[in-house]
Every structure is written in C-alpha cells, then in structure tokens.
Amino acid sequence: MFDFFWDRVEIGAPDECWLWRGRPNRGGYGYVWFDGRQERAHRVAYYLAQGEWPAPQCLHLPLDGQGPHDRRCCNPLHLYAGTNRDNVGDRLPLSGARNGRYKVDPDAVRAAEGSAKAVGKRYGISDARVRQLRAS
Ligand SMILES: [Zn+2]
C-alpha cells in the first residue's frame, strides 16, 4: 500500500544506498508529500520500515571510507533513529537487522504485493519472514 513511495526509491541490496529518484531540495534531501505534509523521504522510509517515526534529528549513518552519505538515501538500514528514548539509541545504528529483530509493520508486509523475496527486500527482512507474516 506504500508502493507509491517505494516506487520512487532506487531499491538495492541492504548494504547499498537506496536513492530517492526525485529531485533533492537545496539541502540535498529528497522530499515527499506524505500523510498531509511535506516530509523528508528518508524519514518516511524509516517510518514505513519501522512502523514509527524517527526523531527529528534522524540522520544517515556514516559510510565506511566512502565519504559523506548521500542525503537522498532511503535505505532504512542506513538511518539512525535519532531517538531520545534511551541514552544509546541515538548513537547506535539500526542493528536490528543483524540480530534478527528488525521491526516492520506486519500489516504493511501482508498488504504488500509481489513475491516474498521482493517484499522482503523492500522491508529489509528475509523472504521466510514475509511468508511467516503472511501466514500468521
Ligand atoms: Zn545509504
């Protein structure tokens, strides 16, 4: 149901930058009209992947030896939550994917069209997890 958003993102492998296809603004960020307001594309990506909005200071993670991160990047795995919920949360990258507890909106996954593999790629989860969610 959020295909209108992901259709505008150059979706790649989890370790690649998923660039916003639209024109960036002067600050280098992609912007999208979402939920009745202009929102930074990478924040929307985070919201769709995690099921909750990141803090306003949601930032891109540094890339190893590749210079500054492209601000158009919408890969949820490349974003800091920037949350104040606890003291370490704003410094840690989204490590959930590594420990297998990456949080997605189950309803969004169930509603997503396409093969389990394609949907899993879109949400940063395994195709097995997609099938599991669909069956639940
Ligand atoms: Zn990136």
Domain parsing of the chain, residue ranges: 3-99, 104-136
Which of 18-22, 30-34, 36-40, 90-94 has the least mean pLDDT? 90-94
Distance of alpha carbon 124 from the chain centroid: 8
Q: Which pLDDT score is estimated for 81? A: 72
> CA-CA distance, 3 to 85, in Å (whole number)?
30
Gap from CA of 135 to ligand 1 centroid (Å): 31
How far does the centroid of ligand 1 lie from the alpha carbon of residue 105, in Å?
21
Strand partners, 38: 33
CA of 111 to the centre of ligand 1 (A): 26
Ligand 1 mean position to 19 CA, how many Å? 7
H-type alpha helices, 16-85? 41-50
133, HSE (Cβ side, Cα atoms, 13 Å): 21
Cα–ligand 1 centroid distance for 12 (angstroms): 10
Distance (angstroms) between ligand 1 centre and the Cα of 74 equals 7
91 pLDDT exceeds 60? no
Of 10-14, 42-46, 58-62, minimum mean pLDDT range = 58-62
